[in-house]
Amino acid sequence: MRNDAIKGALRLLATAVTAAGLLVTFTGTAHASGGTFSGRTANGCGTASGTYHWYETIQYNGKQAYKTDWDMAVVDHCSSDGVSEGLYTKYSKWNGSAWTNDGKFHKIKPADHAKDVADVRLYICHVGDADSCVML
């Protein structure tokens, strides 16, 4: 019963997704900030919602780096199809000498974090299927 209530609440949250998507571009002088996100896959089988926080760390080559914290729930509404859902990010990362962006989707786990990143974008995808990814 509780699981059904959570699924229902997540479905309601998923309807709040805007067509433009969420680009977590961290700017400003605040040392800590955050927000909420929610979204769903194009076929509606997967939904994700949660919160994020970001903290300014240091500037590298004139670009601000951040530490990010994620707390989220991902729900698979079509478990019988054998495809699971996941939350992923793409970002630029400071590697110690330069900013790099490998263009890959990096899966994040509940209560996950990243350090020395910028230009962070958040996606929900069918696990193993980059073509299914929808930016939140």
Overall domain count for the chain: 1
Distance between CA 13 and CA 40 in Å, rounded? 9
Per-residue pLDDT of the chain in tens (136 residues, 90 and over written 9): 434 433 333 333 333 332 234 444 444 444 457 889 999 999 999 999 999 898 999 999 999 999 999 888 999 999 898 899 999 999 999 999 999 999 999 998 877 888 999 999 999 999 989 999 999 8
Q: Cα–Cα distance between 100 and 28 in angstroms, integer?
A: 22
In this structure, are residues 54 and 24 in contact, taking their beta carbons and an 8 Å threshold?
yes
Supply the range of the domain harboring residue 107.
2-135
10 is written with which tokens? 């997540």
Angstrom distance (rounded) from CA 135 to CA 98: 26
What is the CB-side half-sphere exposure of residue 135 using CA atoms within 13 A? Answer: 10
pTM of the entire predicted model? 0.72
CA 107 – CA 99 distance, rounded (Å): 20
The predicted pLDDT at position 116 comes to 93
